[in-house]
Amino acid sequence: MTTRQPIGHLPGQKGVALLVVLWGCTLAAITLGALATNARVESLQARGQSLRTQAFYAAEAGIEAAVYRLRLANEEQRWHVDGRSHALRIGETDVTVSLSAEEGKINLNLATPERIEELLRTAGVDEDRIPAAKRAIVGWGDPGSVKASSVLMRGGFSSLEELGRVPGLTPDIIARIEPALTLWTAQEPNLAYASPLVVATVTGADMASARAYVERVSLAPQGLMLLPPLPGTKPGDASRSPVSAYEVISTATVTNGPTIILDVVLFLKSEPGDPRAYRVVRWRERSLASDS
């Protein structure tokens, strides 16, 4: 006589049910783990974006602070155009702001080929690369021939970023010469506001003498019109004349967060009825990741 096994107690049924339960738990754990990972990633991304936004607005506040300080009538409170850094604390963000004058730079669209060549040489470009680099810069925008005595050909540069589009002009050369260049002046560089590279390029002085001159100018009292004698053998202009175009570099670093650098060229404005205190003609932004 055959004994039947009651339904619900078939051989192996409990084992199959257990495997199904375990498999379901495994899937649930994987799903929950993925959700938790995604939530953490999104949380980190949101925090990173929040810190970056915080740094950006703090750097922008540094630009506004510079404009405010430039317009002050009080000599002791006004920030002077001497390249020194001014430290600010905005919330949890450290901000440093430096000011320089575009008048102390070489106008790329007005420079002679000889001035371009001297700048390349003074900036440390290899001698065998200078002729090709000079021809490339001087000939930008001109389909015809280049005369040795001419200024930059028609078209010229509408932005300094165009240097990166000049055929044959490598990034290392651009990095060497760009800090000495501007597009927003209509005269020879005012060496009272110039960097050692510009001073050496214009006057023919060696870099050590140019650095010493810039240091002496920075130490001279701001109200003093008589400046140290220029180094080198070539003439140049140096005077405490009014500045119209400024380069403001504002660097904001959030505690345990990123760093945002705003490099802005601007003109102060005082036209009647114009509420804006300044006009920006160049705006560059860089970000550095947190070291933490």
The DSSP-derived string for 5-20 is: PPTT--TTHHHHHHHH
Distance between CA atoms of 115 and 134, rounded to whole angstroms?
10
Q: Per-residue confidence at 146, pLDDT binned at 50, 70, 90?
A: very low
Half-sphere exposure of 284 (CA within 13 A, CB side): 9
Kindly state the tokens that stand for 259. 């760093």
Is 256 within the bounds of a domain? no
Residue 175 lies in a domain: no
Residue 234 lies in a domain: yes
15-24, 155-164, 173-182: which has the minimum mean pLDDT?
15-24
Q: What is the pLDDT of residue 271?
A: 66
Is the pLDDT assigned to residue 283 strictly greater than 70?
yes
Residue-level pLDDT at 152: 42
Q: Are 231 and 239 in contact (CB under 8 A)?
A: no
pTM: 0.77
d(CA 100, CA 80): 9
- Chain-wide mean pLDDT for the chain? 85
Structure-token pair, residue 64:
């506004």
Q: How many domains does the chain have?
A: 1
* 227 within domain boundaries: yes
For position 276, what pLDDT does the model report?
72
Tell me the pLDDT band of 41, cut-offs 50, 70 and 90.
low
Q: How confident is the model at residue 223 (pLDDT cuts 50, 70, 90)?
A: low
For residue 230, what are the domain limits? 191-240
pLDDT of residue 181 exceeding 70: yes
Q: Is residue 46 part of a domain?
A: no
Tokens of 218: 């920075």
Residue 12 falls within a domain, yes or no? no
- Domain contains 273: no
- Long-range contacts made by residues 121-128, C-beta under 8 angstroms, separation at least 24? 122/197, 122/200, 122/201, 122/207, 123/173, 123/176, 123/177, 123/180, 123/197, 123/201, 124/176, 125/173, 125/176, 125/177
Amino acid at 227: L
Residue-level pLDDT at 193: 95
Asked if residues 138 and 228 have their Cβ atoms less than 8 Å apart, the reply is no
pLDDT, position 145: 43
Write phi, then psi, for 281 (nearest 5 degrees).
-115, -15
The amino acid present at 104, given as its one-letter code, is G
Q: Which amino acid is at 31?
A: T
pLDDT given for residue 129 in this prediction = 96
213: in domain: yes
Nearest to 197 by CA among 137, 125, 134: 125
